[in-house]
Amino acid sequence: MNLSSLIGLIKEKRKARIAIEACLRSREPFPHTLIHSIGGLGKTVFARAIGHELSYYFIETHAAAFKHREQLFAALVHYSEEAQRAGVPLLFFLDEVHGLKLHLQEALYSVMKEWWIPTPRGKHYIAPFTLIAATTRFNMLDANSFVTRFPNVWEINRYSQTDITNIVAYEFDKFGLSYSYEVVADIAKRCLGVPRIAVTLTTKVRTTTVAAGETVVT
């Protein structure tokens, strides 16, 4: 999935394309990026699309999985080595980053800036990589220190009615179902601008339609 295949996110995709073009021309890693929004707006899909455009080695992790510095460092070293074997840079996607305790946020500073991890014997360097962190609780992050480590801090807002309508239509199209504009627009109105809700409601309607032996959504 690339950026062009994503419905909506016009401003966000424009920012991402500028950053992608800049790093490809400079041959520097894509800047560390923090994405925040309410749940269900597609932060993970957006990050994955950026990774696809860059041809980076995309790894998705969850902040809750890391309780100790050693776990976080071990993951970075492991996936960095995997990316090197694949011959491409690492894109380390860290979801719900507000779940990292303060000392774990601080532990990332040196590796984000200078690509090294502290060890009992000194410093262990890893290949330059990109951290994309996502959160639904931006206010829980250390705004004066951790947040400032990210050159890109992007907020995703609720989708427009038009974009949600297009998402609903796309979900029906995938399964070859027919529909009227009025039907998809009516479903879209109930989605509060959240794609995840749109997919959930569309799935329920599709299931009911198929179970009834119909091919037209009414």
Give the model confidence (pLDDT) of 65-78 as tens digits.
999 999 999 999 99
**Tens digits of per-residue pLDDT, 175-215?**
999 999 999 999 999 999 999 999 999 999 999 999 999 99
**CA distance to 35, 56, 136, 153, 179, per residue, from 48 (Å):** 12, 10, 17, 17, 30
> How many residues are listed for the chain in this entry?
218
- For the entire predicted model, the pTM comes to 0.93
pLDDT digits (tens, 9 = 90+) for 120-140: 888 999 999 999 999 999 999
Task: Please tell me the predicted confidence (pLDDT) of residue 78.
Answer: 98
Residue 130 three-state SS: strand
Say how far apart CA 68 and CA 144 lie, in whole Å: 23
